[in-house]
A and B are shown apart, each in its own frame.
Chain A
Amino acid sequence: MIATNTLDERRPVEVLPGVASRRSLRSQRARQAAVPYLLIFPALAVYAVFTAYPVFRQFEISFFNWHIFPGASNPFVGWSNYTKIFHDPIVRTAARNSFLWVVTTVPVQIFLGLFAAAVLTDRLPGSIFWRAAVYIPVVTSYVVVSWVFSYLFASQGGAANAVLGFFTGHSESINWTAQTWTTNGVMWLLTIWKGVGWSFIIFLAALDAVPREQMESARIDGATERRVWRHVVIPELRPALTFVTVLLVIGAVQVFTQIYEITKGTGGPYNSTQTLMTYMYQNAFSFFAFGYAAALASLLAVVLFGFSWAEIRVLRQQDI
Chain B
Amino acid sequence: MKATKRTTRRKYLVRATLLAGTGVMTTLTGITAVGVAPASASSSKVTLQFWNAYNTTDKEATTMQNVVLAKFEKQNPGIKVQSVVVPYADLEAKFIAAAAAGNPPALIRSDIAWVPSLAAEGVLLDLTKQKWAKSILGGALPGPLSTNLYNGNYYGVPDDTNTQVFFWNKADFAAASIAGPPTTLAEVWTDAAALTNKAKGQFGLGIDGTDVWNVAPYIWSNGGNFTNPSWTSTTGYINGSATEATLQDLVNLDKAGDIGSDFVGGSGSVSGETAFPKGEYAMYIDGPWAYPTYSAEKFTTPADYGMELMPSGPGGTVSTVGGEDLVIAKDVQNLPQVEKLATFLTGTYAQLQMANQGDLAAYKADAAAEVKQQPYLSIFVQQLLTARARPVAPGYSILDADFGAEMQEVLAGNLSVSNAMDTASQEANAALVANS
Does B bind A? yes
**Per a CB cutoff under 8 Å, which of B5, B89, B261 touches A5?**
B5
Instruction: Flag whether A158 is at the interface (Cβ < 8 A).
Output: yes
Nearest Cβ distance between residue A21 and chain B, in whole angstroms? 15
Nearest Cβ distance between residue B433 and chain A, in whole angstroms? 12
CA distance A269 to B89 in the complex (A): 17
Question: Contact mask A6-39 → B, CB, 8 Å, 1/0?
Answer: 1100000000000000000000000110110011
Instruction: Flag whether B241 is at the interface (Cβ < 8 A).
Output: no
| Contact (Cβ within 8 A) B405 A35 | no
| Contact (Cβ within 8 A) A69 B397 | no
In the bound complex, residues from chain B placing their C-beta under 8 Å from that of A289 are 434
Closest partner residue, chain B, to A7 (CB atom): B12
Instruction: Flag whether A251 is at the interface (Cβ < 8 A).
Output: no
In the bound complex, residues from chain B placing their C-beta under 8 Å from that of A154 are 267-268
CA distance A269 to B420 in the complex (A): 14
In the bound complex, residues from chain A placing their C-beta under 8 Å from that of B414 are 270
Instruction: Flag whether A176 is at the interface (Cβ < 8 A).
Output: yes
Most buried by A among B121, B267, B401: B267
Instruction: Flag whether B269 is at the interface (Cβ < 8 A).
Output: yes
In the bound complex, residues from chain A placing their C-beta under 8 Å from that of B120 are 288
Instruction: Flag whether B422 is at the interface (Cβ < 8 A).
Output: no
Interface band, chain A: 35 or more
CB-CB under 8 A for A39 and B96, given A178-B264, A269-B412: no
Instruction: Flag whether A144 is at the interface (Cβ < 8 A).
Output: no
In the bound complex, residues from chain A placing their C-beta under 8 Å from that of B431 are 287
Nearest Cβ distance between residue A51 and chain B, in whole angstroms? 16
| Contact (Cβ within 8 A) A155 B268 | yes
| Contact (Cβ within 8 A) B13 A31 | yes
Nearest Cβ distance between residue A7 and chain B, in whole angstroms? 6
In the bound complex, residues from chain B placing their C-beta under 8 Å from that of A41 are 20
Nearest Cβ distance between residue A292 and chain B, in whole angstroms? 9
Closest partner residue, chain B, to A186 (CB atom): B267
| Contact (Cβ within 8 A) A69 B13 | no
Within 8 A of B (CB), among A140-190: 150-151, 153-158, 175-180, 183
| Contact (Cβ within 8 A) A70 B100 | yes
CA distance A28 to B59 in the complex (A): 74
Of A208-216, A226-234, A258-266, the stretch lying at the interface with chain B is A258-266
In the bound complex, residues from chain A placing their C-beta under 8 Å from that of B394 are 288
In the bound complex, residues from chain A placing their C-beta under 8 Å from that of B13 are 31, 34-35, 38
CA distance A1 to B5 in the complex (A): 11
Nearest Cβ distance between residue A316 and chain B, in whole angstroms? 35
Nearest Cβ distance between residue A202 and chain B, in whole angstroms? 32
Question: Contact mask B383-409 → A, CB, 8 Å, 1/0?
Answer: 000000000001001100100111011
Instruction: Flag whether B153 is at the interface (Cβ < 8 A).
Output: no
In the bound complex, residues from chain B placing their C-beta under 8 Å from that of A158 are 267-268
CB-CB under 8 A for A288 and B121, given A1-B2, A38-B20, A68-B96: yes
In the bound complex, residues from chain A placing their C-beta under 8 Å from that of B265 are 178, 268-269
Instruction: Flag whether A271 is at the interface (Cβ < 8 A).
Output: yes
CA distance A51 to B97 in the complex (A): 19
| Contact (Cβ within 8 A) A70 B102 | yes
Within 8 A of B (CB), among A58-99: 67-73
**Per a CB cutoff under 8 Å, which of B1, B19, B269, B406 touches A175?**
B269
| Contact (Cβ within 8 A) B408 A155 | no
In the bound complex, residues from chain A placing their C-beta under 8 Å from that of B261 are 155-156, 175
Instruction: Flag whether B23 is at the interface (Cβ < 8 A).
Output: yes
Instruction: Flag whether B16 is at the interface (Cβ < 8 A).
Output: yes
Within 8 A of A (CB), among B78-113: 89, 92-93, 96-97, 99-100, 102
Nearest Cβ distance between residue A61 and chain B, in whole angstroms? 12
Instruction: Flag whether B122 is at the interface (Cβ < 8 A).
Output: yes
In the bound complex, residues from chain A placing their C-beta under 8 Å from that of B330 are 69
CA distance A302 to B183 in the complex (A): 58
CA distance A177 to B408 in the complex (A): 13
CA distance A34 to B398 in the complex (A): 54
| Contact (Cβ within 8 A) B268 A175 | yes
| Contact (Cβ within 8 A) B405 A271 | yes
CA distance A70 to B330 in the complex (A): 10
Nearest Cβ distance between residue A110 and chain B, in whole angstroms? 29
Within 8 A of A (CB), among B15-40: 16-17, 19-20, 23-24
Closest partner residue, chain B, to A286 (CB atom): B397
In the bound complex, residues from chain B placing their C-beta under 8 Å from that of A1 are 1-2
CA distance A287 to B96 in the complex (A): 12
| Contact (Cβ within 8 A) A177 B405 | no
Closest partner residue, chain A, to B394 (CB atom): A288
Closest partner residue, chain A, to B102 (CB atom): A70
Most buried by A among B92, B123, B405, B406: B405
CB-CB under 8 A for A42 and B20, given A158-B268, A286-B397: yes
Nearest Cβ distance between residue A10 and chain B, in whole angstroms? 15
Closest partner residue, chain B, to A260 (CB atom): B89
Instruction: Flag whether A285 is at the interface (Cβ < 8 A).
Output: yes
Nearest Cβ distance between residue B278 and chain A, in whole angstroms? 12
Nearest Cβ distance between residue B58 and chain A, in whole angstroms? 21
**Per a CB cutoff under 8 Å, which of B96, B267, B412 touches A153?**
B267
CA distance A272 to B278 in the complex (A): 33
Instruction: Flag whether A124 is at the interface (Cβ < 8 A).
Output: no
Within 8 A of A (CB), among B150-195: none
Nearest Cβ distance between residue A151 and chain B, in whole angstroms? 7
**Per a CB cutoff under 8 Å, which of A35, A176, A270 touches B409?**
A270
| Contact (Cβ within 8 A) B16 A39 | yes
Instruction: Flag whether A220 is at the interface (Cβ < 8 A).
Output: no
In the bound complex, residues from chain B placing their C-beta under 8 Å from that of A68 are 96, 99-100, 121, 123
Besides A67-B121, A151-B267, A183-B266, 20 more A-B contacts (Cβ < 8 Å) are A5-B5, A31-B13, A35-B9, A42-B20, A42-B23, A67-B122, A69-B121, A70-B102, A151-B268, A155-B261, A155-B269, A158-B267, A175-B261, A266-B404, A269-B266, A269-B408, A270-B405, A285-B97, A287-B117, A288-B120
Q: What are 17 sample pairs from A and B whose C-beta atoms fall under 8 A apart?
A: A3-B5, A5-B9, A6-B5, A7-B9, A31-B9, A38-B13, A38-B20, A39-B16, A68-B121, A72-B122, A158-B267, A158-B268, A178-B265, A269-B408, A270-B406, A270-B414, A288-B120
Across the A-B interface, the 9 shortest Cβ-Cβ residue pairs: A154-B268, A178-B266, A155-B268, A72-B122, A285-B93, A150-B267, A177-B267, A270-B408, A177-B266
Q: List residues of chain B with CB under 8 Å of any chain A CB.
A: 1-2, 5-6, 8-9, 12-13, 16-17, 19-20, 23-24, 89, 92-93, 96-97, 99-100, 102, 117, 120-123, 261, 264-270, 330, 394, 397-398, 401, 404-406, 408-409, 412, 414, 431, 434
Q: List residues of chain A with CB under 8 Å of any chain B CB.
A: 1-7, 31-32, 34-35, 38-39, 41-42, 45, 67-73, 150-151, 153-158, 175-180, 183, 262, 264-266, 268-271, 282, 285-289
